[in-house]
Amino acid sequence: MSTSLAKPAHASAAAPVRADRRMKRFLSLQDFETAARRHLPRPVFGYVHGSVEDGQSERDNRAAFARYGFKPRVLVDVSARSQDVEIFGRRYASPVGIAPMGITALTAYRGDIVLARAAREANVPSIMSGSSLIRLEDVMAQAPGTWFQAYLPGDDAQIAALIDRVAAAGVQTLVLTVDTPTQANRENNVRTGFSTPLRPSLDLAWQGITHPRWLAGTFARTLLKHGMPHFENNYATRGAPILSRNVLRDFSDRGHLNWTHVARIRERWKGTMVIKGILDPADALKARALGMDGVIVSNHGGRQLDGAVSPLRVLEDVVAQAGDMAVMFDSGVRRGTDTLKAIALGARCVFVGRPFNYAAAVAGQDGVRHALKLIQDEVSRDMAMLGITRLQELDKSFLVPLG
């Protein structure tokens, strides 16, 4: 008998087995959304799920992938496949990473840490949001190598102080999100009862009572162990609590930001630097001229400007202007086939947001681990179907425009 079979059963060995059994009903990333809709209070789910105004951009993010069909290569030996990818000198196990998402600690207990730890365990890139309720230092201690997405504050002194704080925390890859010059018109938040700051009401209380697993496992547990959540990473110092009126002020001072600020940050920041929110190839050219290491082609998941073009529709044009910058992609990726289409058009890797948020909400780190495995397994199977063994073999010749 092998030693692995001879080991007695114990709690640490049983836990993954229980987690596997619990995860069997989740067959795709979409399945986590259905479960999260039941688990989360309506305002909290609405915040994550919603887009801006009429949802044109969010719908087009998905529709853009359907514009391409695959042209597979057959009778290729694909018995040994690898989906690893190199980004900024580091080898990752998969081209699918976790996108930055705000206030995830309100949807899952210690949500930012859960996401970052799952990504580190799977060896995939993960970006922590600046609109987070957990100190970036705590996340970096739990998951070194996590990228940090900064929303820049209101003046040069505050910007410099924030950048210095991020560097001191050990962050190596700084991501500047540049598509939020003002608050978006998210009517969906109003309709579902979500507001920033959160406003106590009878309806909000009822939503908590009628979602006891979330109330006890996430919100009450957070209050008891960590106190009232604050926006921890908008500035070099602690930001406002989620119930404070000052939250609106904290998020309203980005309209003045321009390329001059980016140039100053590039001079100050010694690590890898990425700009997220690029849709115009001319902006990619500006980023390249300022010495950026990479850009993320993104329309913020359809959550900022309604009608903003799907990133997939401009990806090739951005790549053409990028030079040796790493071009990455987010907004609308839900399947392994989506991932491979973006890579065929020039993306180095893709980032997925909402589904991993839902996975963390319904099943914590086990959920995120399973969600990552689902899409990685899809990528591997799809590579075999396409007749490739490495992502570097994939290019536009595998795609056929439809319609």
Q: Is residue 219 part of a domain?
A: no
Number of domains making up the chain: 1
Q: Is 334 annotated as a binding residue?
A: yes
Q: What are the beta bridge partners of residue 278?
A: 297
CATH, residue 131:
3.20.20.70
Is there a catalytic annotation at residue 211? no
Q: Is residue 160 part of a domain?
A: yes
Q: Is residue 119 part of a domain?
A: yes
Q: Which residue range is the domain that position 35 belongs to?
A: 29-188+247-401
Q: If you average pLDDT over residues 60-83, what whole number do you get? A: 98
For the chain, what percent of residues have pLDDT higher than 90?
A: 80
Tell me which of 211, 230, 300, 370 is the catalytic residue.
Answer: 300
Token couple for 323: 């030079």
Smallest CA-to-CA distance from 95 within 348, 389, 309 is with 348
Q: Is 381 annotated as a binding residue?
A: no
**Residue 50 contacts residue 188 (beta carbons within 8 Å):** yes
Residue 4 pLDDT > 70: no
Q: Is 313 annotated as a binding residue?
A: no
Query: Phi first, then psi: what are they for 71, rounded to 5°?
Result: -120, 90
- Which residues, including other chains, have CB under 8 Å from residue 176's CB and lie 6 or more apart? 149, 150, 152, 262, 265, 273, 274, 275, 276
Q: Over the stretch 264-280, which tens digit does the pLDDT of each residue have?
A: 999 999 999 999 999 99
Query: How would residue 195 be classed by pLDDT, with cut points 50, 70 and 90?
Result: confident
Q: Is 28 annotated as a binding residue?
A: no
Q: Over the stretch 134-185, which tens digit does the pLDDT of each residue have?
A: 999 999 999 999 999 998 876 889 999 999 999 999 999 999 999 998 888 9
Q: Is residue 162 part of a domain?
A: yes
Q: Is residue 17 part of a domain?
A: no
Q: Is 77 annotated as a binding residue?
A: no
Burial class (CB in 10 A: 0-12, 13-18, 19+), 131: buried
Residue 307 pLDDT > 60: yes
Q: Is residue 3 part of a domain?
A: no
Q: If you average pLDDT over residues 209-230, what whole number do you get? A: 95
Q: Is 25 annotated as a binding residue?
A: no
Q: What is the pTM of this model?
A: 0.93
Q: Is residue 226 part of a domain?
A: no
What is the structure's pLDDT at 35?
Answer: 97
Q: Is 1 annotated as a binding residue?
A: no
Query: How would residue 8 be classed by pLDDT, with cut points 50, 70 and 90?
Result: very low
**Residue 65 contacts residue 332 (beta carbons within 8 Å):** yes
Q: Is 68 annotated as a binding residue?
A: no
Q: Over the stretch 352-366, which tens digit does the pLDDT of each residue have?
A: 999 999 999 999 999
Query: How would residue 189 be classed by pLDDT, with cut points 50, 70 and 90?
Result: confident
Q: Over the stretch 10-47, which tens digit does the pLDDT of each residue have?
A: 344 455 556 678 899 999 999 999 999 999 999 999 99
Smallest CA-to-CA distance from 305 within 332, 334, 277, 285 is with 277
Q: Is residue 96 part of a domain?
A: yes
Smallest CA-to-CA distance from 353 within 371, 341, 377 is with 371
What is the structure's pLDDT at 167?
Answer: 97
Token couple for 271: 């690590």
